[in-house]
Amino acid sequence: QCAARIPEAGAVLGLLEKCPEHQKKGGFPVVVFEGLDATGKTTVTESVKDTLNGVLLRSPPACISQWRTVFDNEPTPIKRAFYAAGNYILASEIAKASTRAPVIIDRYWHSTAAYTIATEINGKVQDLPPAHDEVYQWPADLLKPDLVLLLTVDPEERVRRLQRRGLEKTKEEAELEVNSLFRQR
């Protein structure tokens, strides 16, 4: 319905419709690296890819990443739909790539879920759903990785890294900086 207002939505949905409904992983391992911006994901994923002679994929996938800023400025449900679609498109790429080499992924479903949960839950970390709540369960219809690693770094070092990059802050990064409670969630 939003394609009339957001032409890029039609292109994203077109790519999503081309993805097989149930993705099957190939014989090579699939490893995901998660973490906030400036925790070393790019450096580590490039190194692991080279060491394993693997394939490096990112979320959102390259085929839709050019529209990220468009969707990031949309209302929350549309933005979430974009990132959810990206996870399924990425799963299709993972399935293909894992038939020929190890697959290294810079962010996946975990980032989407963590950001959604952190923005939907008000209050303190204690107010989050309990550890075994279904909100944390892997979607049954999404290709699952073999291993997920969370990279962390001292918050002050992370800010220094971001400043060295000279990058403009994303809305998410500004929220993390201002709201330590959001970062904890």
Please write the tens of the pLDDT for every residue from 19-76.
887 789 999 999 999 998 889 999 999 999 999 999 999 999 999 999 999 998 998 8
Q: Specify the CATH number of the domain 2-184.
A: 3.40.50.300
Q: Where are the domains of the chain?
A: 2-184
Q: Please state, for a pLDDT cut of 70, what percent of the chain lies above it.
A: 88
- Tokens 């790429």 appear where? 93
Which sign does the torsion angle of CA 25, 29, 33, 34 carry?
A: positive
Per-residue b or e along 39-73, where b marks 16 or more CB atoms closer than 10 Å to that residue's CB: bbbeebbeebbeebebbbbbbbbeebeebbebbee
The pTM is what? 0.85
